Amino acid sequence: YDSVIGRAARLAIELAVDDVNADRTVLAATRLSLVAQDTNCSGFLGTIEALELMEKNVVAVIGPQSSGIGHVISHVVNELHVPLLSFAATDPTLSASEYPYFIRTTMSDYFQMNAVASIVDYYQWKEVTAIFADDDYGRGGVSALGDALATRRAKISHKAAIPPNSNTEVINDVLFRANMMESRVMVVHANPDTGMRIFSVANKLQMMASGYVWIVTDWLAAVLDSSASRDLKGMSHIQGLVVLRQHTPESDAKDKFTTKWNNAARSRGINSGLNSYGFYAYDSVWAVARGIDQFLDNGQQVNFSADPRLHRSKDSTLQLSTLKVFDGGEQMLQQLLLTNFTGLTGLVQFGPDRNLVRPAYDILNVGGSGSRLIGYWSNYSGLSVAAPETLYQKPSNASSVAQRLYNVVWPGDSTTTPKGWVFPNNGQPLRVGVPIKASFKELVAGGRGSDNVTGYCIDIFNAAIRLLPYPVPCQFITIGDGKKNPNYDDIISMVADNVCSISFFLPVYVFNHFVISPLICFIFTSPLMQL
């Protein structure tokens, strides 16, 4: 209960149960009653409490909040045929194919990571560092991120895993190591209750400065939406971040609910605000209520029967035989999958892959004491500055020219898009292959021994390198002995095998006895070489 998501969701669920019971059109003759359990984010308590809950002959479970506990409880509900509606377990590896009774009533991080990858691709970055909570939720998300980046020819070049319950020193070590790497695009997928510490440590390491890119998943939006009193000191650490948030369309119902939630929170002394997980929790209760309503309307009865595998064991005082299988579980599950209504989160309907239809995210840019909406991502059309619900009527246009976001103010109050990488402190210099030919010595000449190369092409190259706004350490590697022209196939394989980072390649066109143009071509394979 005492977590960023829990505080928002618990009250939202209670308000939803009240609303269902006050509504004469749904479950008119039946009272929906809520049995609440606090797992306190512990897998152990979560397991025990799920079993205790099952003793009470429940027909549906809403929750749990954490993906880790979701994995455990899914085994229980699967065997007892009780549908589990999870409004906050976003780990994409929690799948309906493994756990048929698991229904996700929020968006899977599969979509969120595709949104992150679209942003990375939009700014043409090629490598990112993933900073994540080293638990089911974090690993599941980062694995989806890797897949999503791969489809856009980008990748995670460094994984910075932060073990659960890490202290500041551990976080410091993890970030310090990440900072030694070349990528300056950080994707942070952490937990709302502990994630903010990452930024204060990063700030001390001067990683919240210009040149860095921080893309943060929806957990940070939940924290920002929930912090009733915006703490300006905390905000100063997170200027320039790009943050995702589940997109829920604007509606009167949503505004009314927000007011109601705020009033209820004030009267109960809850000193924290609502976030989008509250909306999903609210809609989950309505989905269950409508499902049960249909189930009863269809003439089904709520019966439970004993599970022969859970016979009473003489050696144990645990009353496992009191766990019963919900006979109508299969029908209830099918009924829930037919859910089709408009809730606070928009259209609540499940596609053939059992995900909520129309997954979409808001993209925010943190600045000053708040954040600015710079666009949206939808599974339908990718990045856009128009709200997703206005796009569904038009044909989908996910082509790269149609992608658009408003301008971002990056960390360090910079409006120039960071190039996303640096030459790493501990990295190798740029190794430049120089083919030494038998002729055209004025273009390139060199003796044995690297760095002893001269000529027109080398002068141009050095001049170009000096023009770059950042230092590029170079090392020349001569190819060939100057007596026989080197074989171009060999040069290409030296680059492919990473003996050289790039290589000169000198096709010289001779036309009417004049050398027309000493064309300098470079061959590159390393994604870093976007000079």
Ligand X SMILES: *[C@@H]1O[C@H](CO)[C@@H](O)[C@H](O)[C@H]1NC(C)=O
- Considering the complex, state which of residue 104 and residue 431 has its C-beta at the smaller distance from ligand X: 104
**Interface with ligand X (CB under 6 A), residue from 163, 164, 351, 471:** 351
| Alpha carbon 30 to its chain's center | 40
User: In the bound complex, what is the minimum distance in angstroms from residue 352's beta carbon to ligand X?
Assistant: 8
Residues numbered 265-304 forming contacts with ligand X, rule: CB under 6 A: 301, 303
Contact status: 97 vs ligand X (CB under 6 A) = no
Buried b (16+ CB within 10 A) or exposed e, 115-127: bbbbbbbbbebbb
Give the interface segment with ligand X, choosing from 120-128, 423-431, 445-453, 457-465 (CB under 6 A).
445-453
Q: Is 306 in the site for ligand X (CB under 6 A)?
A: no
Site stretch for ligand X (CB under 6 A), options 7-15, 253-261, 382-390, 447-455: 447-455
* C-alpha closest to that of 175 among 113, 116, 129: 129
**Piece in contact with ligand X (CB under 6 A), picked from 27-35, 175-183, 357-365, 406-414:** 357-365
Residue 256, CA distances (Å) to 6, 253, 344, 523 in order: 21, 5, 10, 60
- Residues in contact with ligand X, counted by CB under 6 A, come to a total of 20
Among 70, 240, 359, 435, binds ligand X (CB under 6 A): 359
Strand ranges, E, within 369-440? 370-378, 382-384, 430-435
Is residue 427 close enough to count as binding ligand X by CB under 6 A?
A: no
**For the window 373-412, what string marks contact with ligand X as x by the rule CB under 6 A?**
------x---------------x-x-x-xx----------
Which residues is 243 bridged to in the sheet? Answer: 216, 364
CB contact at 8 A, 300 and 328? yes
Position 465 contacts ligand X (CB under 6 A): no
d(CA 50, CA 486): 71
Q: Does 475 bind ligand X (CB under 6 A)?
A: no
How far apart CA 106 and CA 248 sit, in angstroms, is: 11
Distance from chain centroid for Cα 221: 12
Query: How far apart are CB 404 and ligand X at their closest, in Å?
Result: 8
Which span sits near ligand X by CB under 6 A: 14-22, 288-296, 426-434, 446-454?
446-454
Distance CA 383, CA 474 (A): 38
Within positions 321 to 340, which residues make up the interface with ligand X, using CB under 6 A? 327, 340
Decide if residue 355 touches ligand X (CB under 6 A).
yes
Token pair, residue 188, equals 């942070």
Residue 70's contacts (CB-CB under 8 Å, 6 or more residues apart) are: 64, 84, 86, 89, 91, 94, 102, 136
User: Residue numbers of the site for ligand X (CB under 6 A)?
Assistant: 40, 301, 303, 327, 340, 351, 355, 357-359, 379, 395, 397, 399, 401-402, 445, 447, 449, 452
